[in-house]
Amino acid sequence: MPDWIQIIIRAFSLLIILFFFTKWLGMKQLSQLNIFEYITGIVLGGIVAIHVSTLDSPIHFALISMFIWFIFPYLVELISLKSKAFRNFTQGKSRVVIQNGKIMEDNLKKEHYSTDDLLESLRERNIFKVADVEFAVLEPTGKLNVLPKRENRPITAKDLALKLAPDREPQTVIMDGKPLLEPLANISLNPTWLETELEKMNVSIENVFLGQVDSDGQLTVDLYDDTLAVPSPSQKPLLLATMNKCQADLELFGLATNNEMSKQMYQRNSEKLQKAIDYISPYLR
């Protein structure tokens, strides 16, 4: 067998083996790997590289060494999943470097983390003043995770005591001009509904690049033809506007009438409508 055919066979078979090994070793990203997993990956790649191009070494040498470098990290990972103590040993523990706004110098030293490293990592998180930090942890991967002090954290709806309507993930129902039946069924809608909605928007499905439905059943589309204007969903804002108008009308009627009974009726209902608006408006935004 000529050498070049051998190289092709080796390259293909080792490539396939390597593909499955990396698949079985897990879905972690490169940046999440600890040093041991990182080295394992490099060694596996090295073994493949050497044996693909060096024909003097028999192919089963490659298989044996690759198998060992695969099965060992695999077992380590398997045991790590089961035992916390083992996990601490193999993957390392996260270490607190700032607590209650104070830097833990001893912990920094243990991790060989210099003050400059700490400042750099903080700057990466857009924090330029150590005094703004309440708590910071150095993860085994070398990443620094920071909890800023309460007043330096971004405002959330909870901080503002805002009532927000819950929502679910939107479903993609049109892709490349074709309806997707499964996501449609997930939100208990059918293609006829989709056709009606598209007709309301005055667009044909062939012209739709992407269409999504939110948990309130509102359809938004992106068209191939970007010069066409697509109406955004107007049902909910329109409803809120109508409710506000009616509320104002009822108040006006109440002021205008001389009949005491009618006056009371208008006032009562205007208050009731205001209550309904306050109640439903989070859902209509």
Partner 1 sequence: MMTVGSQVKTCYASIKNIEATLGILANQTNEVDARNAYRETQEMITEIKNDLEKQVLTLAREEPQYNQ
- Return residues touching partner 1 (CB under 8 A): 165-168, 187-188, 215-218, 235-236, 238-239, 242-243, 245-246, 249-250, 253, 256-257, 262, 265, 268-269, 272-273, 275-276, 279-280, 283
CA dist., res. 83 & res. 254, Å (int): 72
Q: How far is the CB of 29 from partner 1 (least distance, A)?
A: 33
Nearer to partner 1, 54 or 262 (CB): 262
Q: How far is the CB of 246 from partner 1 (least distance, A)?
A: 5
CA dist., res. 285 & res. 282, Å (int): 6
Nearer to partner 1, 94 or 235 (CB): 235
Q: How far is the CB of 176 from partner 1 (least distance, A)?
A: 25
For 110-149, letters b (16+ CB in 10 Å) and e give: eeebeeebbeebbeeeebeeeebbbebbbebbeebebebe
Q: How far is the CB of 182 from partner 1 (least distance, A)?
A: 15
Phi and psi at residue 127, to the nearest 5°:
-115, 120
Q: How far is the CB of 269 from partner 1 (least distance, A)?
A: 5
Residue listed under structure tokens 């938004």:
220
CA dist., res. 185 & res. 208, Å (int): 19
Nearer to partner 1, 92 or 191 (CB): 191
> Coil, strand or helix: which one is 278?
helix
CA dist., res. 33 & res. 43, Å (int): 14
